[in-house]
Amino acid sequence: MLVPPPSTLLLNRYYTTEFFSMIKEHLNPGGVFMCSPGSAQTYFNEESLKLNSSVFNSLKVAFANVKPVAGNKLYFIASDKVLSASFCRLTEQQNIKNHYVSSDYLADDLTERKSDEIESLLDPEMRQNSSSFPIAYNYFQLYNLSKDLNEKVPAIVLLILLFATPLFAIKRKNLIMYFSASALAAFEIIVLLTLQLTVGNMYQLTGLIIAGLMAGLAIGAGSDFSRVTPISIPVKSIILILFYVLAASVYGSIIKTDSRFPAICMIMLLSFIPAFITGNIFRELTCESRTGNHIASVYSADLSGSAMGFIAVSGFAVPAFGTAATIYFLALLVFSGFLFGTIMNKH
Amino acid sequence: MKNSKHNISKRDFIRKSALLSAGLICFPCHKMLSESLPDQQGIYKRVAMYQEKTADGILCRICPNECVLNESDLSRCNSRKVHNSKLYTLAYGNPCSVNIDPVEKKPLYHFYPGSRAYSIATAGCNLACRNCQNWTISQTSPDKTRNFDLPPADVVAECISNNCRSIAYTYSEPVTFYEYVYETAMIARKSGIKNIMKSNGYINPEPLKKLCTVIDAANIDLKAFTESTYLKLTGGKCSNCLKSVDGVWN
C-alpha cells in the first residue's frame, strides 16, 4: 500500500493499529502487507526513528513478523509467515524472470544487512500509533520541524505571540468565556476527527457537524429559556466540565462502534450540547451589561479562546496526549475559567 | 471593594500562566539539549588543515566560504571549531553513516563495475541545499549525531574485511571532513584500495589539488547552471564549483 507518510491526521489513519488489524482480516492467511511511513535515509535522526518505531510497533500488533526494507523509501513488510529481504533468491525460487531484481542491482546480503541494522535502531518500547492516540502524526511533524529548525523558530515565536496577544486584552470576568470557547473549539476539532474515524467519508457530514455546533451556539445565546436562564454561570461551567468528563469516558466506545448511524447521531449530539451551554454563557455575560463595549470584549474573549483551542488541539494536544486525555484537558480548561473567571472574580 | 487574599489579578494570572508555559516548554528542550550535548573531551582530536591566523580570527581556507572564526566559533559547515586559538576539525574518525554500497550507487558506472564501495560520512556540509536528501546529517554537527568510532586505519581494515574494492567518501560532504578523507585515502592507497569522492566540489584549489593526489575517482555535483539559481538553491557560488570540476580533471 503506497500512501503518503502520516503528515496529516487523515493520512495517519493508514498507519494505526486499527487499520493494520482491519487489513489483516482482509488478507489471505500468510498474506503480505507493505507500507512506507517515510524515506530511507543513510542516517535516521531521533525524530525519524520515533516515527518509524511507532509504525513498526503498530504493525507488530497485527502481524507476527515485520521487516524494514530500505529502498527508495523505507518499506515495512508485514506478515504472519516468515519474511525475508533476500529478493534475488526469492525471485529465483519462484522462477520469476526479470532484469531488474538481480544481484547486479540488489545484493541479498546487503539488503538483509541494512534491514537488520534499521531494525536494531528501532525502539520496541515506542508507543503504538492508534486512532485515539495519533503519535506517528506527531513524530512526523517533529521530524519535519527538525529540518531547518533555525529558520522556522522566528515564525513559531511570531505565531505564539499572535495567539497570546489577545490574552492581555481579556478582562478577568471574561476568562470563563475565553476558556469555555477554547474548549468548545478544541472539542469541535475532536468531533471532526472522530467523525473521520467512524464514518470515513466526511465531506457532507462535516458541514452537518459544524451546522449542529453553530445551531447550539445560536440557540444557547439567543433564546431565553425559563429553566436555563436562572442557572448561574458557575453552575453552567460545572455542567460543561461534567459533560467533557463524560465525553472523554465514552469516547473509546464511540470510535469502536460498527454502527455508523447511531455514531453520527451521538457525534452530532456531542457537538450540540457544549455549544448550547457555551452560547448560553455568552448570553449571560453579555446580558448583564447594555454597553456595546462590554459585548465586544466578551466576543473578543470568545474568538481568541476559539483560536487558541483550534490551534492547540489540532496541532499539539491530540497527537501528543491522545484524544481521550485531551477531552479531559478540556474539562480542566473550563475548570480554569470557572476558577479564575467566576469563583476568584467575586468582589 | 478590595480583592480578598484568595483573588488573583489578571496580571498575576497571565504572569503565572506564562511561567508555567515557559516551564513546560523548557522541560523537553532541556531534555533535548542534555541528550545532544557532546562528549566535549573527545571532540578536539585533530587540528584542522589549511588554517591561517588573521587579525580578525582564524581563517579556514578549505572551502570558498572561508570562515573567519574566533574562540568557540563553529564554521558554516558545522564541522570546524576554534579551541585554544587553534582550528580543530570535529569530523575525524567519527562517521555517522557507514554502509556498503554497490559502486554504481555513487553513481559510477565505469569504475570497477560490479564492485562494492565501503561508504562513510560524517555530519556537516558547506552548502545548505534546499532539497538535500541527506539533510539529517548534512545540516548538523558531528557532535550531535550518533557516531561510529572508526579511525582511518580501521576504515581501511573494515573495507578489506567486507570485500570492498573502494572507500567512498559520500552522503554528506567530504570537503568538511577533509583531514579524515585525506588520511584514510593515504592508508587505503598503500593497501591497494581505491578512493572515491562524492562531492559538491565546493573546495578551494589548493586543498583540492592535494586531495586529488590520493583520490582515484570523483563525482562532482553541479547543482545549477547559473549563479542566481545556484545561490538560491544552495547558498553558494556556481563559479567555485566550476573551478573544482575543472581542477579535478586537470
The better pLDDT of the pair A293, B204 is held by B204
**What is the rounded average pLDDT for all residues in chain A?**
86
pLDDT confidence tier of residue B233, bands split at 50, 70 and 90? very high
- A233-242, A335-344, B80-89 — which one is most confidently predicted on average? B80-89
* Contact yes or no for B125/B139 (Cβ under 8 A): yes
On the question of pLDDT at B29 being above 50, the answer is: no
Looking at the predicted complex, does its ipTM rise above 0.85? no
Q: What average pLDDT does this structure show over B19-27?
A: 56
- Probe site for chain B from A39, A43, A167 (most B CB atoms < 10 A): A43
* Contact yes or no for A55/A76 (Cβ under 8 A): yes
Question: Which residue type occupies B41?
Answer: Q
Residue in B2, B21, B19 with CA at minimum distance from that of residue B11: B19
- Domains plus CATH for chain A? 9-143 (3.40.50.150), 150-343 (1.20.1250)
Looking at residue A307, what is its pLDDT? Answer: 86
pLDDT confidence tier of residue B31, bands split at 50, 70 and 90? very low
pLDDT confidence tier of residue A161, bands split at 50, 70 and 90? confident
Do A175 and B13 make contact, defined as CB atoms within 8 angstroms? yes
pLDDT confidence tier of residue B250, bands split at 50, 70 and 90? low
| Out of A326-340, B53-67, B160-174, least confident range | A326-340
Q: Which of B7, B14, B17 sits opposite A344 (nearest CB)?
A: B7
Tell me how crowded residue A246 is: count the other CB atoms within 10 A of its CB.
14
pLDDT in tens, A285-308: 888 666 777 788 888 888 888 888
Do B136 and A44 make contact, defined as CB atoms within 8 angstroms? yes
Which residue in B has a C-alpha nearest to residue A109's C-alpha?
A: B100
- What pairs with residue B196 in β-bridges? B168, B217
Looking at residue A99, what is its pLDDT? Answer: 74
Looking at residue B35, what is its pLDDT? Answer: 40
pLDDT in tens, B127-163: 999 889 899 999 999 999 999 999 999 999 999 999 9
* Contact yes or no for A83/A63 (Cβ under 8 A): no
Looking at residue B3, what is its pLDDT? Answer: 43
Strand, coil or helix: A175: helix
Nine-digit cell at B46? 585533530
Count CB pairs under 8 A between chains A and B: 60
Round to whole Å and give the CA distance between A19 and A8.
16
Where do runs of H (alpha helix) occur along chain B?
10-36, 135-138, 152-161, 178-190, 205-212, 227-234, 238-249
| Out of A330-334, A336-340, B241-245, least confident range | A336-340
Q: What average pLDDT does this structure show over B170-179?
A: 96
pLDDT in tens, B116-130: 999 999 999 999 998
Do B137 and A147 make contact, defined as CB atoms within 8 angstroms? no
Nine-digit cell at A187? 472539542
Looking at residue B7, what is its pLDDT? Answer: 56
* Contact yes or no for B103/B198 (Cβ under 8 A): no
Looking at residue B1, what is its pLDDT? Answer: 38
The DSSP line for B141-209 is -GGGS------HHHHHHHHHHTT-SEEEE-SS-GGGGHHHHHHHHHHHHHTT-EEEEEE-----HHHHH
pLDDT in tens, A220-275: 888 877 766 678 888 888 999 999 999 888 887 777 777 777 777 878 888 899 99
Looking at residue B37, what is its pLDDT? Answer: 40
